[in-house]
Structure 1
Amino acid sequence: MQALLHSLWNNHSTLLQIFLFLGVIILIWVAELHNALVDAKEKWRHSRVNLLFITTALPIQLSLSALVILVSGWVTIHHWGLLYLLPGTTYGWLKYLIAFLLLDFCEYVYHVLMHKTPKFWNFHLIHHSDEEVDVSTTLREHPCETFIRVCFLMVWVFLSGASIGVLLLRQTIQTVANLTAHSNYKIPVKIERICQLLFITPRLHQVHHHFELPYTDCNYGDVFCIWDRLFGTYREMPEEDIKFGVDNYQNYSSSDFKALIQHPFLEKKNK
């Protein structure tokens, strides 16, 4: 175990993931700015609120990621989890694919729970409260949701038996997919139509960010949209009809960072 952690530390995998995340978000942000031809100051005014969530999420993410690595190391050493029920003892390309799909399904389940469990939704609605969804919205996550999300990841890794290699592959693809899905960069309709047969695209995720039900409770997929298609949560709507935000956050400021952090706790007191 110590050798495994030492190797991971030497490879700076966590640091590389952070640089990848920042690099991709900057590229997409600039592409959005060029594509929409909006005023840079106006776009920055919106984005800087979402950027503030890094200050609360990053310490939690980094500290709990160490526990995720420990759990992954343990299941690998002890051959524990659903993946080890499959024939063969080593990770071939087929096992990597199955592991990736399994973790993606787990993220679908997690996302459904964040919407359907009232206590979880109180935190998740902060993400949905953004009234101008763009790539910076990916960062808009309440610190308590960050804690819940990574704890769920530990459970998924423990149950699935996902190795460190699977996690790194998964995190890399998930990073690009999530940032792309939240972007407002206009992909040609014909290309997006093909992509959304299998993947969550910007247009599909924008439907998920529509301000009222039933559209808020649809298109839960993380990388793939196949789970939404299988479980009846797949929806489309005309782009011009989409209105961002969430109906039960109306009359509150969506750009006051302090108020956004406090809101779930104030709502609990009021109830």
Structure 2
Amino acid sequence: MATPTWLAATAGQPTKAGQINQFLGTHSVQFLYSATQTVAQATAGTGGVNTNGLYIAQSFTTPSNQTQIGWIGINATVTGTPAPLTVTVQTNNAGAPSGTVLATTLIPAEFLTGTPGNIPIPLPCTVTASTTYWVVAQAVGDASNYFTWYKSNQTSGASTSANGTTWSAQTYGLLYNVHDQSSVPPLLFTYEDNGARWTEWVFHTNGQFYILAEFTQGQTPTGYTTSLRTLNYTNGLLTSIT
């Protein structure tokens, strides 16, 4: 029997057999490292764009030697407690996201703060060199609960949509960075069952591992589970985990 894909229990939902059987076998996993940045827009502009009722996308073109994406960073914050943000890599169609998804990852609100910062997102997929793709943030939230993706100083590159199908090109770009799947340490993510479960490993500049963040999809969009642990050191020795 194949091992069922990772699935977190959801309060108020009946237990599924797969939620027991998922612990009885191995799961497909990809190891994603810090790797090599291949393309980015890193100079901030003014303001940001909210996911409340709006799909947000940023185009990028792979270099002549890139055939894989490992992870993509976006500069973002969270307001309130929206459901997880669905982020995809999509192919290009006539200058807009095509709807053809190459990779998908859910990002929970618990892993963001109200302060803008680069949020690394595991999105492993195979791509074609010298080709345009899109990183797309799905509409989620309401007037009090939403994610914000911040603008770069570019005057093009971004596109928005009310339904994820019909897109409008914008006169601004968004802050992002794209990384390949090269094995340049340290380890950054383990990505299991095509994103049903993923783990982020964060290291100090001195090489010490100090944050472990885990996310598992649930039976409903609000039924996921997360775990965020910090390892504390004194004089180079691990003293506690919080």
Same fold (TM over 0.5): no
TM-score, structure 1 as length reference: 0.23
TM-score, structure 2 as length reference: 0.25
Larger strand proportion of the pair: 2
Larger helix proportion of the pair: 1
